Structure 1
Amino acid sequence: MLSFYRDKLGIEESGRQTIGGAEVVRLRAGAQGIGVFDSSAGPRPGIPHHTFACEGPADPDEMTRELEAKGITVETVRKDREGIGYSVYVVDPSGNRLELSVQPS
């Protein structure tokens, strides 16, 4: 899976995490980042979804307020196990589940 992004698209790996038993490979293309999962083992709770590495406030409640002020319904918020960052889950108008992953510096 990683070779597709790295070798064919030229995207660099920026880290790895295990979340809910699934390995997440974080990739960076310039200022943009995504997290990809190996889904070959079949569906797991909360997967599939698309993960976007985002800049955002250190406080997840502030991020939630910003999104809701724009009319976006926040499905759930999850703090990272390391306690550094967090993820906010939303659903787009087409029904795609999105994870907005924030790693404040």
Structure 2
Amino acid sequence: MDDATTFVTIAGMAAVTYATRSGPLLFLAGRTLAPSAIRFLAHVPAAVLAALAAPALLRPQGQFDMSLDNAILWAGLAAFALALRTKGFFGPVALGMGLVAAVRFLSGA
């Protein structure tokens, strides 16, 4: 790939990213959203996080795995339970990482 193609590719990616992020802000500026839309939008971050986490938890080696050997799944479930209980972020992340690290250390993986 030559320099011109690289530049056009990066500039195009930047333009698309800018448009998708600034479009809603510009369109919704000064408008009041309906309460139902606000309730809907409040759930978007959790839905995005679940969409990102589910494949990592359920397919850690590229194949569906809900066995007892899937340490990432069980650490994720423990972290999720702690997150529900504490409504925190750092504690569940630390717990999940610690559990996966401990299982890998103890199993020699």
- Tell me the TM-score normalised to structure 1 length: 0.21
Q: Which one has a larger percent helix, Structure 1 or Structure 2?
A: 2
The structure with more radius of gyration: 2
- Larger RCO (CA within 8 A; separation ≥ 6): 1
Q: TM-score, normalised by structure 2?
A: 0.21
Structure number with higher strand proportion = 1
